[in-house]
Structure 1
Amino acid sequence: MEYFDMLKEACENEGLIFDETMYNNFIQYKALIKEWNEKINLTAITEDEEIIKKHFIDSIKVFEYPYVKEATKIIDIGTGGGFPGIPMKIVKPESSMVLLDSLNKRINFLNEVIDKLELKDIKTIHGRAEDFAQKAEYREEFDLAVSRAVANLTVLLELCLPFVKVGGYFVALKGPAIEDEIKDSKVALKVLGGHIQEIIEVNIAGSDLKHNLLVIKKIKDTPKKYPRKAGTANKNPIK
């Protein structure tokens, strides 16, 4: 039970209950990451303790914003190896979770994790945010969208806010230097119906990893034209 206390403390700091079933899920998840990482590029972080801190605990830190615990319908956009969505699902099993990623190999990995951990009320979508955000069953249907994807904030807003219902939130896990990104995204925020609610600095004990949770509230409907076709947000960001 080498990492039990570390994960338990991370959960308790956020007011979450942590038990042995959750711990066993994390350990199995870690083993699957290491196994699959030899076949496909999931992460550059391969040491056990680093996976625990920089993927699992970093994902749990999303709960620093109190609303996250209340959200029942969540989507993780550009989930990659399942971060932060799968750790969030493990520690809050009653939530409904959708994991979206554009790479089929990663979706295959995520499906195996879901199967092996016997997680319920969680599904994967293989595709692009630009396409799925225009579908009625996904558009403005979620209490919470999360993303740890490495993308400029202006681009992320266009990809993620259309999934969030008015009154819900988008939480972006960003690096320490976000002030310029926030300045550059002011027009996009206004156009897409978002409002910056809070910036929460996140530190992980025993790690050099520093993150910010950028909490954005959805205050009005996103115009139907957004998100635009795949690649447009990158080439021609909202200014």
Structure 2
Amino acid sequence: MSDILIKGAEELNISIEEKDINSFEIYKEMLKEWNTKINITTITDDEDIDIKHFLDSLTPLVTNLFDGKKNLIDIGTGGGFPGIPLKIIKRELNVTLLDSLNKRINFLNEVINRLELEDIIAIHARAEEMSIKPVYREKYDIAISRAVASLNTLSEYCIPFVKLGGYFISMKGPDAEEELKSGNNAIKVLGGRIVDKKLICIPESDIMHSLIIIEKIKETPTKYPRGGGKPRKNPL
């Protein structure tokens, strides 16, 4: 069993069981195996996977927003981060993993099957196309993203998925102040408001990351998100 995961979970006040550790170990081996065939991650060292993928993915649990049977969407999930680690620990979560690369979706489906996870699906789609569909728009308690994009761009991709009273959690690096300033207008336009910014040290490391927590207080105007790559090319 991974001492790093056990110690890291303790630092985050997360209860982690032996079956959870076993799930993480299987996940890690699948990640390394599939990574030889398709590009999923540049992080391939065992300890680095434990710290930079698994423990980092679990840091949002310090917000206490994940208790109970919540609907969660992980946008730009890549190799399943943070959605699958959160699901392993919080089995009652109903999770949607969204990614625009179908090869990654194939990998995620294999992980879901191998770990026998329930109430979790992986969808191949672009966020701006999916969030305009009534079945997905404003249906989630939490939208979360660890994707590499500016906060104003990410907000346009993510906030339309969040129901009134729900939250968008953006996982960022330690220097998020400039992004908060430049993203504030977009967040307001899209119906959100910044309620907290937590600076967190990833356990068993000296890596600092930020969690930007945005509450959905108004419905997102129907013209958002814009298509044609406009959220990236011309952020709000």
Equivalents in 1 of 2:160, 2:26: separation in Å? 34
- Deviation (angstroms), 1:14: 4.0
Task: State the TM-score, normalized to the length of structure 2.
Answer: 0.96
1:204 and 2:202 matched: yes
Give the Å deviation of 1:8.
3.0
Q: Which structure 2 residues correspond to residues 1-239 of structure 1 after superposition, within 5 A? A: 1=1, 3=2, 5-70=3-68, 72-238=70-236
Residues 11-45 of structure 1: CA distance to partner in whole angstroms, max 9, x if unpaired? 34444321111111000000000001111111111
1:229 Cα deviation from its structure 2 partner: 0.5
Residues 212, 70 of structure 1: CA spacing in aligned structure 2 closer, same or farther, 3 A cutoff? farther
Runs of 5+ consecutive residues of structure 2 not aligned to the other structure: none
1:167 offset after TM fit, Å?
0.3
Q: C-alpha offsets along residues 81-117 of structure 1, whole Å, 9 cap, x if unaligned?
A: 0000000000001110000000001001101000111
Counterpart secondary structure, 2:98: strand
Structure 1 gap ranges (5+): none
What is the distance in 1 between the residues matched to 2:11 and 2:102? Answer: 35
Asked if 2 retains the 8 angstrom alpha-carbon contact of 1:73 and 1:97, the reply is yes
Percent identical among aligned pairs is 53
CA distance in 1 between partners of 2:150 and 2:68 (Å) = 27
| Aligned-residue RMSD, C-alpha | 1.2
Contact 1:128 1:230 in 2 (8 A): no
User: Secondary structure in 2 aligned to 1:237?
Assistant: coil
Distance 1:194-1:168 versus aligned 2 partners, 3 A rule: same
TM-score (norm. length: structure 1)? 0.95
The structure-2 alpha-carbon separation of the partners of 1:150 and 1:193, relative to structure 1 and needing over 3 Å to count, comes to: same
**In structure 1, C-alpha distance between the alignment counterparts of 2:171 and 2:228, rounded to whole Å:** 22
Return the offset for 1:62.
Answer: 0.9
Pairwise CA distance, 1:205: 3.3
Offset, 1:9: 3.6
Q: Which of structure 1's runs of 4+ aligned residues deviate more than 6 A?
A: none
